[in-house]
Amino acid sequence: MRKSWSEKLNCPAVPVVKPAPVSIAGMRQGQIMLVPTAKMIADFMQAIPPGQTVGVLAMRQQLATRHRAEITCPIYTGYHLRTVAEAALEAHTAGMPIESITPFWRVLNASSSTTGRLPDGRRFVSAQRLAEGLA
């Protein structure tokens, strides 16, 4: 049976700090890299106050700094961004009020590739950003 996005978000995992195995997406082989968990990404987003935004690159740098790494893995970050957003939308569709879901629109904008993969993602993110004055 396929896991829901919420199950994927809440799957037990621990962050790992290790040398980057390859150079990719602005990361150089050998840099000390944080491999984040989906929960870390969600917690970061939940800490962003309403009406404020943090870009993906800034989020990755802040997470790396907090974990004494030079960089946060761009591949795992992208994967987890989608997991967090999908889980939030899943919860909202199930009836959870907008104020109670992870505010992924404070990191992702309507033009991001991740947003484009979400069901009605561009419209949803645009509406939430507009409501918070982020548009």
> E-strand spans in 25-83?
32-35, 71-72
Rounded to an integer, the average pLDDT of 95-122 is: 95
- pLDDT range class, residue 93, cuts 50, 70, 90: very high
Is the torsion defined by CA of 98, 101, 103, 108 positive or negative? negative
Residue 132: name the closest of 38, 63, 45, 59 by CA.
45
Which sequence spans correspond to the domains of the chain? 5-131
pLDDT band with cut points at 50, 70 and 90 for residue 92: very high
DSSP state of 24: B
The predicted-structure confidence for 44-87, as pLDDT tens digits, reads as follows 999 999 999 999 999 999 999 999 999 999 999 999 999 999 99
- The pLDDT of residue 10 is 93
Query: pLDDT exceeding 90 applies to what percent of the chain?
Result: 94
Residue 104 has phi, psi (to 5 degrees) of: -65, -20
The CATH class given to the 5-131 domain equals: mainly alpha
Enter the pTM of the model.
0.94
Query: pLDDT by residue (tens digit) across 68-78?
Result: 999 999 999 99
pLDDT number for residue 21: 93
Which helix H or strand E contains 18, and what residues bound it? strand 16-19
Query: Does the pLDDT at position 132 exceed 90?
Result: yes
The percentage of the chain sitting over the pLDDT mark of 70, rounded to a whole number, equals 99
